[in-house]
Structure 1
Amino acid sequence: MCKFSANSLLSAAALTLLSAVAADPELSTLTAVMAGMGTSPDKPDPRLEERFNSRLDGRNYTFFAPTNAAFAKIPASQLQALALSPNYELLLSIIRSHIAEGYFPASSISDTTPPIAAIEGFPLSFKGPRINSQATITATDFKADNGIFHKVDTVLNPYTSYFGLSPPVGKAPSPNINDQSANLGDLLMSDNGLDLYRNVTSIIAPYRLLRHSYPPKQNQPLPLFLVSSDTAFSVLPPSSYSSFIAPSNNALSAYLLNAGRVENVTSRGIPASTSLLPQIKAANGTLALPGENGLSILFRETGEKGEIMVGNARVERELCWADGCVWVIDRILDPLYGILGV
């Protein structure tokens, strides 16, 4: 049996779950984040409100609610970026990864409790007061009419274990192909190590490859694209591929595939590595650049033979063409890597 904070006997059973959360001053940032996703200033997004805050739903839910202190661990610029409309699907997945169907008071949670599936599908595992080795439960058993909530001190990142964290192996990216006669579409369609990437994009976002190919203006800075190799898909948990391409997940999956675009990285005829490595070294080995949706992507040099890490992934290869460069990475990019204070 778990034993957490003694200050855990507050009951808001007359309120539905999200209303009970909104009534707690230690959860005001969470409430504001959810309200910002909605269509009115005082109610969460309908996809949250109609399921988790309605007695008509008929089910109980348990919310592991991040406190104001948890959100304070996120840099202000990144929290503001998360709230932008292009990041809606990601933010929704974060919130849903903190909620599980069922009624789980503290007395039902222990080291031997099997992982509980969050609404988003990711597992919640417990060891003492810790969840997924990321957050600590600080107060428990705040009851609502349709469930219960506990407070946690860190916003959970569901993608850390799901996509995996690639270990450094001391190997630099394989030689650059600086083909000035080819465009990105040609390279992505013909590369032998990107079969699964092509399959996924053809199902969930057939326009994706086309987005990469556009004629730049003369002397226009060129982008860098981070594209997941077949290795990245092969290390996902079982059945993940089918979940990734499921119609209900299309919007989020398309978002995740598009998270690795960084504008204004290099110039025509110059590999992205040539442009970025001096910047990474000048930043003491870690350089944060904004991705397409405003969230930071961390570029790191391990110091081992020119090896480059990007977020949770290792750069396997570099492909350059007339309109920019692709770095082939060995994991699907975790868009929250290094952001949540985990």
Structure 2
Amino acid sequence: MEKFNLTTLMKRLTALAMVAVMFVVTGCGDDDDGGEPAPTLNLYETMSAESDLTQIKAYVDADADLKAMLEGSTEYTFFAPNDAAFAKLETLLGTGLETVAPQIVSQVLMFHFAQGAKTQAELTGSSVVTEQGESVVVDANGNITTGGSDDEVLITKGDIRATNGIMHKVETILIPPTIYASIGVNLGKLSQAVLLSANFTTLASAVAKADTYAADNSLPTITSYLTGDTEYTLFAPTNQTFEAINSDPAVVLAAYTAQQWYGILSNHFVADDGNGADDNVTVDEAELTTGATFTTKAGATLQIFNNTAAIPADNGVGIYIDSNGDVDLGDSGTYTNFDAEVALLDAFEGANGKLHVIAGVLAPPM
């Protein structure tokens, strides 16, 4: 039997102390600087685990590049709008984000990501450049001032750590300042329906091309009709109409010069319904009767035919439009010359007029 002595006891205590220190050091290696367990989920998995981030997850799932970002090794600060943020934006726009033009949605989404993992404390009183190119600014109180309609966006839950960054939940969808400036001009106007909508992206591109001619010739732009205070009735063809001409929007746009597009698009606007008996200048459904005529901004005449007994509804409600004068309402043999059918009445009504969706293009007489 080993003899007990003080020297032996001290050696054993020293050995136990070293083992204890090793356990402590090893245990600390599993934690982050705040003493919390190191994250095991990437940003995509972290987002997916949150029950109130279902809508932003749906947009990420629909974008392979964005999903790859959240699953990759590059660190990001991710401002994740919760489901309530999407509801708030829908109230603002009067429609969901899914109806907004894809190129705008893409820029808005990328505005929620900045390279580098920044904690809420590190963000406070500073700014970060996002993947969209503009900066998210955080004030001294830790609130985001670049939220578009909300200039004091709360981070409802911050510092949610992932293996490839940090996620902060926010109560508002963040909109890049330049885009919000455009949205602010368009809200409640015909331009909201045309320039911001996913359904009219080809028409919006045609407007941009026509406006180059207007600017070069000191003429009112098509955009000014859409955004101004004067009320108009707009007969608007959707992407589907242009796709029937050619599936490639670039081919459709190249088919006409800027000057021709200016004339064509001007022919889709009516400034006065010609009815002094009502209290508005827009063309209502009741005024779209057979034989009714309306003068367009191009100076041409739109002639209406509303008789489904003679021509059954095809792509809409059975209201047909002749835009270039080659239909004789007294000669049914000319009915194949109608240029468009009204597809959806009163699709949008705003502060400066209303929009009827049409299947067709209203080119003026050549």
TM-score (norm 1): 0.45
Bigger radius of gyration: 2
Larger proportion of helix? 2
Structure of higher RCO (CA pairs closer than 8 Å, 6+ residues apart):
1
TM-score (norm 2): 0.42
